[in-house]
Amino acid sequence: MKKKILITYNLPREGFAELTEDFELIFPENDSFSKAEVLERVGECDALLSMFNFVIDKEIIDAGEQLKIISNFGVGFNNVDFEYAREKGVMVTNTPDPVVEPTAEMAFALMLATARRVSECDRKLRDAASGLKWGVMENLGVGLNGKTLGVVGLGRIGKAIARRAEAFGMKVVYHNRRETEAGNATYCSTLDELLNVSDFVSLNVPLTDETRHLIDADALKKMKPSAILINTARGPVVDEQALADALKNRTIRAAGLDVFENEPAVCPQLLTLDNVVLAPHNGTATIDARIEMSRFAARNIINFFDGGKITCVW
């Protein structure tokens, strides 16, 4: 009998070419399944392939009477109640490998856009009423060369960002719970130390109880007034309201955000500010990455049933 895989989003079919005739794939007719549709179908499925923004809670796990694995599409898995899944004997996996380079690229895109005021100047140039001025002392930003980048969370993505920073002539410092192999990067034993010395701060930590609001009003006050904050990790790592206040009051220079506390909602104050660049959780949004992430998630399912290697989160 074929094993059934419920796929919550219409992902690229190229990514599922390795799933043989042993599997029956259930795709949504439109962009995605609703929670009600998942609850209706998951009871007869052996595997659930879920998007990082689709919440897999106790109700869905309980409804999956035959469910053996949740293959999450993305490196983060805070959308899955994985503790309850473990309690029920359901494996949870993620897709860490394909997200590293595109997320690092996105972080650097935000760094450049904020430092050189690209989005702000683009908006004003398109608006004849903006009063944009041309001149050698107008629209000044800051450069990256010679500046210090502080990486909070020097995992695989953090290291990929650090490599790019070094190519731009930046000094890199980092903070982890413990010192790690970091090439030319310098270890900061406390977050405060990193915040004090960094011109740019890149957040690259998973969302946990410890990292929720890691960057709050107090942390923002410890940053340089000229500093720029970049978040491509998870929205709740930053106290969004505190950040909006800090940007409005120029406690820090600017911010580049790809993630938000209550996605898809964005703090209304952020939308009014010129010194923040916003993106709709686009860190891995390349055609290549989407195909490879689909392929990786599919391989986790294949390998789980074949007894091969998987990237489990518990």
Active site residues: 234, 263, 281
Q: Which residues contact 307 (CB under 8 A, 6 or more apart)?
A: none
**CB of 278 closer than 8 Å to CB of 238:** no
**CB of 58 closer than 8 Å to CB of 80:** no
CA 11 to chain centre: 18
Amino acid at 235: G
DSSP-based three-state secondary structure for 181: coil
d(CA 163, CA 151): 11
Q: Which residues contact 208 (CB under 8 A, 6 or more apart)?
A: none
d(CA 257, CA 281): 8
Is 27 exposed, middle or buried (CB count within 10 Å of its CB: 0-12, 13-18, 19+)?
Answer: middle
Q: Which tokens in the block code for residue 72?
A: 């999450």
H helices of 97-221, where? 100-115, 118-126, 156-167, 191-197, 217-221
Task: Classify each residue of 270-286 as buried b or exposed e, where b means 16 or more C-beta atoms within 10 Å of its C-beta.
Answer: beebeebbbbebebbeb
The DSSP output letter for 237 is G
CA distances from 53 to 122, 189, 219, 264, 281 (A): 30, 33, 28, 9, 10
Q: Which tokens in the block code for residue 105?
A: 């690229």
